[in-house]
Amino acid sequence: MLQGSNLACVRGDRELFKGINFSLEAGGLLQVKGPNGSGKTSMLRMLCGLSNPASGEISWCGQAIRSLGSDYYNSITYIGHLSGTKDDLTVIENLRISSALSGFEISIPQAREALQYMGLGGREILPAKVLSQGQRRRVALARLLVCKTALWILDEPLAALDAMAVKLIQGLLEQHLQENGMIVMTTHQEIDIAAPSITQLQLA
Protein backbone atom coordinates (compact mmCIF):
# COMPACT_ATOMS: atom_id res chain seq x y z
CA MET A 1 0.00 0.00 0.00
CA LEU A 2 2.46 2.64 1.16
CA GLN A 3 5.89 2.30 -0.34
CA GLY A 4 9.05 4.33 -0.23
CA SER A 5 11.99 3.61 -2.46
CA ASN A 6 15.46 5.03 -2.24
CA LEU A 7 14.37 8.07 -0.23
CA ALA A 8 16.84 10.78 0.63
CA CYS A 9 16.50 13.96 2.61
CA VAL A 10 18.81 16.96 2.47
CA ARG A 11 18.52 19.92 4.82
CA GLY A 12 20.78 22.81 3.85
CA ASP A 13 24.05 21.10 2.95
CA ARG A 14 23.57 18.23 5.37
CA GLU A 15 22.32 14.91 4.18
CA LEU A 16 20.01 13.51 6.86
CA PHE A 17 19.41 10.12 5.30
CA LYS A 18 19.58 8.38 1.96
CA GLY A 19 18.72 5.08 0.36
CA ILE A 20 15.74 4.40 2.63
CA ASN A 21 13.36 1.70 1.42
CA PHE A 22 10.25 0.42 3.12
CA SER A 23 6.85 -0.93 2.33
CA LEU A 24 3.78 -1.02 4.52
CA GLU A 25 0.82 -3.30 3.94
CA ALA A 26 -2.68 -3.15 5.37
CA GLY A 27 -2.61 -3.88 9.10
CA GLY A 28 1.05 -2.97 9.39
CA LEU A 29 2.87 -0.55 11.66
CA LEU A 30 6.04 1.23 10.68
CA GLN A 31 8.05 2.62 13.55
CA VAL A 32 10.59 5.23 12.52
CA LYS A 33 13.49 5.28 14.99
CA GLY A 34 16.62 7.30 15.38
CA PRO A 35 18.37 9.82 17.60
CA ASN A 36 17.32 13.49 17.79
CA GLY A 37 18.01 15.29 14.56
CA SER A 38 18.21 12.16 12.46
CA GLY A 39 15.33 13.25 10.25
CA LYS A 40 12.33 11.42 11.74
CA THR A 41 10.00 14.39 11.46
CA SER A 42 11.36 15.22 7.99
CA MET A 43 10.59 11.66 7.01
CA LEU A 44 7.00 11.88 8.23
CA ARG A 45 6.45 15.24 6.53
CA MET A 46 7.70 13.66 3.33
CA LEU A 47 5.27 10.78 3.72
CA CYS A 48 2.46 13.30 4.09
CA GLY A 49 3.50 15.10 0.95
CA LEU A 50 4.30 18.30 2.85
CA SER A 51 7.82 18.25 1.46
CA ASN A 52 9.41 16.48 -1.45
CA PRO A 53 12.20 13.95 -1.01
CA ALA A 54 15.59 15.00 -2.42
CA SER A 55 15.51 11.76 -4.37
CA GLY A 56 13.36 8.65 -4.50
CA GLU A 57 9.64 8.13 -4.71
CA ILE A 58 6.78 7.56 -2.28
CA SER A 59 3.78 5.70 -3.61
CA TRP A 60 0.33 4.92 -2.25
CA CYS A 61 -1.55 1.98 -3.79
CA GLY A 62 0.99 1.91 -6.60
CA GLN A 63 0.72 5.59 -7.53
CA ALA A 64 3.14 8.36 -6.66
CA ILE A 65 1.63 10.53 -3.91
CA ARG A 66 2.64 13.68 -5.77
CA SER A 67 0.25 12.77 -8.57
CA LEU A 68 -2.56 11.75 -6.21
CA GLY A 69 -3.00 15.08 -4.45
CA SER A 70 -6.24 15.36 -2.54
CA ASP A 71 -7.15 11.69 -3.07
CA TYR A 72 -4.18 10.87 -0.91
CA TYR A 73 -5.11 13.45 1.72
CA ASN A 74 -8.50 11.75 1.97
CA SER A 75 -6.85 8.61 3.22
CA ILE A 76 -4.35 9.97 5.75
CA THR A 77 -4.52 11.56 9.17
CA TYR A 78 -1.36 13.37 10.22
CA ILE A 79 -0.73 14.50 13.76
CA GLY A 80 2.53 16.37 13.95
CA HIS A 81 4.56 17.40 16.95
CA LEU A 82 2.72 20.72 16.97
CA SER A 83 -0.68 19.75 18.23
CA GLY A 84 -2.59 22.17 16.02
CA THR A 85 -4.90 23.36 18.79
CA LYS A 86 -5.96 27.00 18.81
CA ASP A 87 -5.50 28.66 22.20
CA ASP A 88 -8.55 30.88 21.82
CA LEU A 89 -10.98 28.15 20.84
CA THR A 90 -12.61 25.77 23.28
CA VAL A 91 -11.69 22.10 23.37
CA ILE A 92 -14.81 21.02 21.53
CA GLU A 93 -14.50 23.76 18.90
CA ASN A 94 -10.91 22.71 18.32
CA LEU A 95 -11.89 19.11 17.70
CA ARG A 96 -14.87 19.92 15.48
CA ILE A 97 -12.97 22.43 13.37
CA SER A 98 -9.86 20.30 12.96
CA SER A 99 -11.90 17.29 11.90
CA ALA A 100 -13.95 19.42 9.50
CA LEU A 101 -10.65 20.55 7.99
CA SER A 102 -9.69 16.92 7.46
CA GLY A 103 -12.98 16.37 5.67
CA PHE A 104 -15.01 14.85 8.52
CA GLU A 105 -17.79 17.04 9.79
CA ILE A 106 -18.93 15.80 13.18
CA SER A 107 -21.87 16.74 15.36
CA ILE A 108 -21.52 18.08 18.90
CA PRO A 109 -22.56 14.76 20.54
CA GLN A 110 -20.01 12.90 18.43
CA ALA A 111 -17.31 15.34 19.48
CA ARG A 112 -18.35 15.04 23.13
CA GLU A 113 -18.17 11.28 22.95
CA ALA A 114 -14.67 11.36 21.46
CA LEU A 115 -13.47 13.81 24.11
CA GLN A 116 -15.05 11.72 26.85
CA TYR A 117 -13.13 8.72 25.55
CA MET A 118 -9.89 10.71 25.59
CA GLY A 119 -10.46 11.58 29.23
CA LEU A 120 -11.42 15.18 28.60
CA GLY A 121 -15.03 14.82 29.73
CA GLY A 122 -16.25 17.96 31.50
CA ARG A 123 -13.54 20.10 29.93
CA GLU A 124 -15.24 20.56 26.57
CA ILE A 125 -15.92 24.25 26.90
CA LEU A 126 -12.60 25.30 28.40
CA PRO A 127 -10.41 27.39 26.11
CA ALA A 128 -7.43 25.33 24.95
CA LYS A 129 -4.98 27.83 26.45
CA VAL A 130 -5.71 26.62 30.00
CA LEU A 131 -4.93 23.00 29.13
CA SER A 132 -1.70 21.26 30.05
CA GLN A 133 0.66 19.92 27.40
CA GLY A 134 -0.65 16.40 27.84
CA GLN A 135 -4.26 17.51 27.59
CA ARG A 136 -3.54 19.41 24.36
CA ARG A 137 -2.02 16.23 23.02
CA ARG A 138 -5.21 14.39 23.94
CA VAL A 139 -7.32 16.94 22.06
CA ALA A 140 -5.15 16.46 18.97
CA LEU A 141 -5.30 12.67 19.27
CA ALA A 142 -9.08 12.73 19.65
CA ARG A 143 -9.11 13.34 15.90
CA LEU A 144 -8.08 9.71 15.43
CA LEU A 145 -11.44 8.66 16.86
CA VAL A 146 -13.53 10.68 14.44
CA CYS A 147 -11.49 10.77 11.24
CA LYS A 148 -11.79 7.34 9.70
CA THR A 149 -8.79 7.19 7.40
CA ALA A 150 -6.66 4.23 6.38
CA LEU A 151 -3.23 5.63 7.15
CA TRP A 152 -2.26 7.37 10.35
CA ILE A 153 0.99 9.31 10.39
CA LEU A 154 1.86 10.20 13.96
CA ASP A 155 4.84 12.20 15.14
CA GLU A 156 5.62 11.30 18.75
CA PRO A 157 2.00 10.59 19.65
CA LEU A 158 2.93 9.44 23.14
CA ALA A 159 5.00 12.50 24.12
CA ALA A 160 3.70 14.32 27.21
CA LEU A 161 1.02 11.71 27.88
CA ASP A 162 0.60 10.03 31.27
CA ALA A 163 0.69 6.23 31.73
CA MET A 164 -3.09 5.89 31.50
CA ALA A 165 -3.28 7.85 28.27
CA VAL A 166 -0.37 5.93 26.77
CA LYS A 167 -2.33 2.73 27.39
CA LEU A 168 -5.43 4.28 25.88
CA ILE A 169 -3.62 5.35 22.72
CA GLN A 170 -1.89 2.00 22.36
CA GLY A 171 -5.31 0.35 22.53
CA LEU A 172 -6.54 2.73 19.86
CA LEU A 173 -3.58 1.96 17.60
CA GLU A 174 -4.06 -1.78 18.09
CA GLN A 175 -7.71 -1.50 17.14
CA HIS A 176 -6.84 0.50 14.03
CA LEU A 177 -4.37 -2.17 12.94
CA GLN A 178 -6.93 -4.91 13.52
CA GLU A 179 -9.31 -3.09 11.23
CA ASN A 180 -6.64 -3.26 8.52
CA GLY A 181 -5.47 0.30 9.03
CA MET A 182 -1.87 1.37 8.71
CA ILE A 183 0.27 3.42 11.04
CA VAL A 184 3.56 5.20 10.60
CA MET A 185 4.85 6.66 13.84
CA THR A 186 7.93 7.88 15.61
CA THR A 187 8.44 7.37 19.29
CA HIS A 188 11.27 7.17 21.77
CA GLN A 189 9.19 5.11 24.16
CA GLU A 190 8.95 1.34 24.00
CA ILE A 191 5.64 0.53 22.43
CA ASP A 192 3.64 -2.42 23.57
CA ILE A 193 1.28 -3.13 20.69
CA ALA A 194 0.15 -6.56 19.60
CA ALA A 195 0.27 -6.35 15.83
CA PRO A 196 0.92 -8.94 13.13
CA SER A 197 3.65 -6.92 11.49
CA ILE A 198 5.74 -4.22 13.07
CA THR A 199 8.50 -2.90 10.84
CA GLN A 200 11.23 -0.77 12.30
CA LEU A 201 13.01 1.81 10.25
CA GLN A 202 16.28 2.95 11.72
CA LEU A 203 17.57 6.35 10.61
CA ALA A 204 21.29 6.89 11.09
Binding footprint of another protein on the chain (CB under 8 A): 48-52, 70-71, 73-74, 76, 78, 80-89, 93, 97-98, 100-103, 105, 127
CB of 83 to another protein, least distance (A): 6
How far is CA 99 from each of CA 4, 27, 130, 161, 187, rounded to the nearest angstrom?
27, 23, 21, 21, 24
C-alpha 139/C-alpha 105 separation (Å) is 16
- Smallest CA-to-CA distance from 4 within 56, 63, 44, 48 is with 56
Our CB check for another protein shows the closer of 90 and 187 to be: 90
Our CB check for another protein shows the closer of 3 and 102 to be: 102
Our CB check for another protein shows the closer of 96 and 123 to be: 96
CB of 87 to another protein, least distance (A): 7
Our CB check for another protein shows the closer of 101 and 130 to be: 101
C-alpha 49/C-alpha 68 separation (Å) is 10
